[in-house]
Amino acid sequence: MSHDHHNHSETSNIRRVQFALALTGIFMLVEVVGGIISGSLALLADAGHMLTDTMALGLAAFAFRVSSRPADTKRSYGYQRFQIIAAFVNGLSLLFIVGWILLEAVMRLIEPPEVIGGTMLVVASAGLVVNILVFSILHSGDQENLNIRGAALHVLGDLLGSVAAIIAALVIIQTGWMPIDPILSVLVAMLILRSAWQLVRRSAHILLEGAPEWLDLDDMQQKIVAAVPEVKEIHHVHVWGLTPQHPMLTMHVVLAAKPDDPTSIIRSVKQALKSDFAINHSTIEVEIGGCADH
């Protein structure tokens, strides 16, 4: 990926998030009023989720701005990792939302309140339109970017919440059966839970300097030894990523004999890492005989 293409992608991501933020923030206020007037938990849960969406989208937009700052003497890798922090926080907030919806649903199943189905249906229908628009804006962005992915998952939860509120409103209008409202809210919460956990797990893995999930370290070492005849052995391999798009690596390579031009061997290893594993940033220590760390 070229530097210009990366900058264009980041600019596009920022614009998508900012537009989604404006739409979500405005409609959140509409849903709060509608939920209070109608007495619907599905609408209030969706409004609460849209509130966290607004904060999540704001955090995502802020993370993109911060991550675009150049590296400095205090942060030599730059600020790109801030996107992963934002994704982790957004994932945790989704888990808290699921907990709140489940708790409130249990209370309402024990003592179902009156819900005004007509008001609930109008507001939920408008919410569905807004959520589909916002989700399509974010989903057409870079889905490998965890910051965008976290924001899109928040909005997807809202979209499902709007569908549940519409179904609940229709049931209440037709039958007057109030428990449908918290029951469908629980169903939406369960759908959100799996995606939220995956987001938290993936972002935590990166924050803990975990190796890229797609990378087989044993396979990588075997291919490099096969591609570069001068390399006898590889050890002390450490692979991590600033973001999923920016893997980094350090390792020691043991040479079979003292080379005339060690730089050319390092260049060959780096080329293998780039072409076969898309690792563009690597630091390689050349060893002849014993390891210096021993």
137 CB neighbour count, 10 Å cutoff: 18
Q: What is the pLDDT of residues 211-255, one digit of tens each?
A: 988 889 999 999 999 999 899 889 999 999 988 888 999 999 999
Interval 181-201 mean pLDDT: 84
- 11 and 81 share a domain? yes
Q: Tell whether 257 and 150 lie within a shared domain.
A: no
In terms of domains, do 189 and 261 share one? no
Domain membership of residue 212 (yes or no) is no
In a domain, 292, yes or no: no
State the pLDDT at residue 4: 46
On whether the CB atoms of residues 17 and 138 are closer than 8 A, the answer is yes
pLDDT band at 5 (very low <50, low <70, confident <90, very high): very low
Domain harbouring 231, CATH code: 3.30.70.1350
Q: Name the domain count of the chain.
A: 2
Q: 119 in helix, strand or coil?
A: helix
Please check the confidence at residue 110 and state whether its pLDDT lies above 60.
yes
Q: Is the pLDDT of residue 32 over 80?
A: no
Is 294 within the bounds of a domain? no
Given a cut of 80, is residue 39 above it in pLDDT?
no
266 within a domain of the structure (yes/no): yes
The C-alpha atoms of residue 22 and residue 48 are separated, in whole angstroms, by 16
In a domain, 103, yes or no: yes
Is the domain of 125 the same as that of 153?
A: yes
The residue from 207, 238, 266 where one domain ends is 207
Q: What percent of the chain has pLDDT over 90?
A: 19
Alpha carbons 105 and 2: distance in angstroms, whole number: 49
CA–CA separation, 197 and 186 (whole Å):
16
| Residues 239 and 167 both lie in one domain | no
* Span 260-280, average pLDDT: 91
Do 139 and 158 lie in a common domain? yes
Quick one: pLDDT at residue 8?
52
117's tokens: 């189905």
Element (H, E) at 85: helix 82-110
Q: Which of 186, 207, 228 is the last residue of a domain?
A: 207
Do 235 and 154 have their domain in common? Answer: no
Of the two residues 258 and 2, the one the predictor is more confident about is 258
- Do both 267 and 170 map to the same domain? no
Over 60: is that where the pLDDT of 210 sits?
A: yes
CA distances from 131 to 86, 127, 287 (A): 21, 6, 57
DSSP 8-state class, residue 212: P
**Mean pLDDT of all residues in 207-212:** 92
Please indicate, yes or no, if residue 190 is contained in any of the structural domains: yes
Domain identity same for 246 and 160: no
Which CATH number belongs to the domain containing residue 109 in this structure?
A: 1.20.1510.10
Contact 126, 169 (CB under 8 A): no
**Residue 40, in any domain of the structure:** yes
pTM over 0.85: no
Average pLDDT in the chain: 83
Q: Which domain holds residue 273?
A: 217-287
- Render pLDDT for 255-267 as a digit per residue (tens, 0 to 9): 988 888 889 999 9
pLDDT for 153 equals 81
The answer to whether residues 39 and 126 belong to one domain is yes
pLDDT at position 45: 63
Give the pLDDT score at 20. 83
In a domain, 129, yes or no: yes
Q: Is the pLDDT of residue 158 over 80?
A: no
Residue 1 has pLDDT above 50, yes or no: no
Backbone angles phi, psi at 61, to 5 degrees: -65, -40
Q: What is the Cα–Cα distance from 186 to 167, expressed in whole angstroms?
A: 13
Instruction: Kindly indicate the confidence band of residue 70, based on its pLDDT and cuts at 50, 70 and 90.
Output: confident
Task: Indicate if 164 and 195 belong to the same structural domain.
Answer: yes
Residues 147 and 16 in one domain: yes
**90-105 mean pLDDT:** 86
Whole-angstrom distance, CA of residue 53 vs CA of residue 224: 45
Look at residue 279 and tell me whether its pLDDT is greater than 90: yes
Calculate ∠ Cα 133-135-140, nearest 5°.
Answer: 100
Of residues 153, 194, 158, the one with CA closest to residue 49 = 158
* CA 145 – CA 154 distance, rounded (Å): 15
* Contact status, residue 137 vs residue 20, Cβ threshold 8 Å: yes
Q: What is the pLDDT of residues 114-142, one digit of tens each?
A: 777 787 788 788 888 888 988 888 877 66
Cα–Cα dist 165/116, whole Å: 12
- Measured CA to CA, the distance from residue 59 to residue 100 in angstroms comes to 21
From residue 4, alpha-carbon distances to 10, 143, 210, 278 in Å are 10, 19, 28, 17
Instruction: Please tell me the distance from the alpha carbon of residue 205 to that of residue 237, in angstroms, as a whole number.
Output: 17
Facing residues of 241 across strands? 247
Last residue of a domain, which of 181, 207, 233? 207
Average pLDDT, stretch 147-161? 80
Tell me the chain's radius of gyration from C-alpha atoms. Answer: 25
